């Protein structure tokens, strides 16, 4: 049985100058479609709090939620490397708590790596988890689990002091053993500086061109929400409109009795 992509394979791609692609995914149906592509990595992000659960942010998401959604993806995913987010308060209390919960994401959900938000403050947790043999993906820039400190969903790291802080956080994560780093909503020039300062792959979302890979929320890139169009988002499809058209036609046909027709009904004989 061919295993899913491994961390060494991904690091090799970076060494060869190949860009890495990552999308979020929260369910088996989408994971099966991802299997038919060459996407490198799947992230079961805690953005499932917004996308799947209808919350206004990620703070309500629990480890048990991540295990339910993460294992749904893991059961179907065949090729891409699977990263699962550690939700708010599942790693901030102590390095021991972080390791225990990262272990649950590996054992119960099938994660190949875990992702957590923050810089120097979480370096102890990153070290503990990675020393236990679990790859860790860091996350800097806009970190939605700290929304009450940041204030709003905006670009982070503008100005030399903020840029320097972020750069130091990135270096602290690498020194603690992080295997990759997500940079969310940071100026392109800062993402470039970070990517040049550390050797682990940087994966950008709203971080411009000079990073080692890109990640987008699947539902965003597929254009499900016509009202959500931040500057960094490119929509590769317009599935919101396609779903609406299909559902409207289905409703009309049920009401006017043209569905089901004979073609979609069972006869008496085989
Ligand atoms: O939760 C998530 O989907 C994420 C990505 C936006 C990187 O962290």
The atom of ligand 1 lying closest to the CA of 182 is 7
User: Ligand 1 test: best mutation among 117, 182, 232, most atoms within 8 Å of CB?
Assistant: 182
Closest Cα to atom 4, ligand 1: which residue?
45
- Supply the pTM of this predicted model: 0.97
Tokens of 45: 């992000």
Q: What is the Å distance from ligand 1's center to 217 Cα?
A: 7
Distance CA 23, CA 215 (A): 5
pLDDT at 3 over 90: no
- Classify residue 1: in a domain, yes or no: no
Residues facing residue 44 across a β-bridge: 84
pLDDT at 195 over 80: yes
Tokens of 113: 């790596």
- Classify residue 101: in a domain, yes or no: yes
Total structural domains within the chain = 1
Mean pLDDT of 13-21: 98
Closest Cα to atom 2, ligand 1: which residue?
45
Q: What is the Å distance from ligand 1's center to 70 Cα?
A: 14
Q: Does residue 106 come out as left (phi exceeding 0), alpha (psi in the -120 to 50 range) or beta?
A: alpha
pLDDT at 6 over 70: yes
Summarize pLDDT for 98-131 with one digit per residue, the tens: 999 999 999 999 999 999 999 999 999 999 999 9
Per cent of the chain over pLDDT 70 is 99
Distance CA 248, CA 242 (A): 10
Q: Please spell the DSSP secondary structure of 140-185, one letter per residue.
A: EES-GGGHHHH-SS-----SHHHHHHHHHHHHHHHHHT-SEEEEES
Model pLDDT, residue 270: 78
- Classify residue 231: in a domain, yes or no: yes
CB atoms within 10 A of CB 15: 10
pLDDT at 1 over 80: no
Residues in contact with ligand 1 (CB, 6 Å cut-off): 24, 43, 45-47, 85, 139, 182, 184, 205, 215, 217
Q: Which residues contact 187 (CB under 8 A, 6 or more apart)?
A: 155, 157, 158, 163, 208
DSSP 8-state symbol, 133: T
End-to-end CA distance of the chain: give it in Å, rounded. Answer: 38
Q: Taking all residues of the chain, what is their mean pLDDT, rounded to a whole number? A: 97
**CATH number assigned to the domain comprising residue 108:** 3.20.20.60
The atom of ligand 1 lying closest to the CA of 203 is 7
Model pLDDT, residue 27: 98
Identify whether 38 is a catalytic site residue.
Answer: no
- Classify residue 17: in a domain, yes or no: yes
Q: What is the Å distance from ligand 1's center to 200 Cα?
A: 18
Distance CA 146, CA 199 (A): 26
Bridge-based pairing of strands 113-117 and 180-184 is unpaired
Residue 21: domain span: 7-238
Helix (H, G, I), strand (E, B), or coil: what is residue 40?
Answer: coil
- Whether 139 contacts 182, CB under 8 Å: yes
Mean pLDDT of 145-174: 97
- Classify residue 254: in a domain, yes or no: no
pLDDT at 63 over 90: yes
- Classify residue 244: in a domain, yes or no: no
- Classify residue 252: in a domain, yes or no: no
* List 112, 117, 174, 184, catalytic entry: 184
What's the sign of the alpha-carbon dihedral 156, 146, 116, 230? negative
- Classify residue 41: in a domain, yes or no: yes
CB atoms within 10 A of CB 128: 22
pLDDT at 18 over 90: yes
Distance CA 167, CA 88 (A): 23
């Amino acid at each position: 049985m061919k295993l899913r992509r491994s961390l060494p394979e991904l690091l090799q791609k970076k060494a060869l100058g190949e860009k890495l692609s990552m999308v979020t995914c929260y369910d088996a149906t989408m994971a099966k479609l991802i299997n038919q592509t060459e996407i490198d990595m799947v992230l079961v992000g805690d953005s499932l709090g917004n996308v799947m659960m209808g919350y206004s942010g990620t703070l309500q998401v629990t480890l048990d939620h991540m295990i339910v959604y993460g294992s749904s993806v893991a059961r179907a995913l065949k090729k891409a490397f699977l990263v699962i987010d550690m939700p708010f308060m599942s790693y901030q209390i102590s390095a021991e708590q972080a390791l225990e919960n990262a272990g649950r994401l590996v054992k119960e959900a099938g994660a190949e790596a875990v992702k957590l938000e923050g810089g120097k403050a979480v370096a102890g947790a990153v070290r503990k988890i990675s020393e236990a043999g679990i790859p860790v993906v860091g996350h800097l820039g806009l970190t939605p689990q700290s929304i009450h400190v940041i204030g709003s969903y905006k670009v982070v790291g503008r100005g030399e002091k903020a840029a320097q802080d972020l750069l130091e956080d990135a270096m602290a994560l690498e020194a603690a053993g992080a295997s990759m780093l997500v940079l969310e909503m940071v100026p392109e020039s800062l993402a470039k500086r970070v990517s040049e300062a550390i050797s682990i792959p940087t994966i950008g979302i709203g971080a411009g061109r000079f990073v080692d890979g890109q990640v987008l929320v699947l539902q965003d890139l597929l254009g499900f929400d016509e009202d959500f169009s931040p500057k960094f988002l490119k929509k590769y499809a317009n599935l919101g409109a396609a779903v609406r058209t299909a559902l409207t036609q289905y409703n009309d046909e049920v009401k006017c009795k043209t569905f089901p027709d004979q073609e979609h009904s069972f006869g008496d004989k085989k």
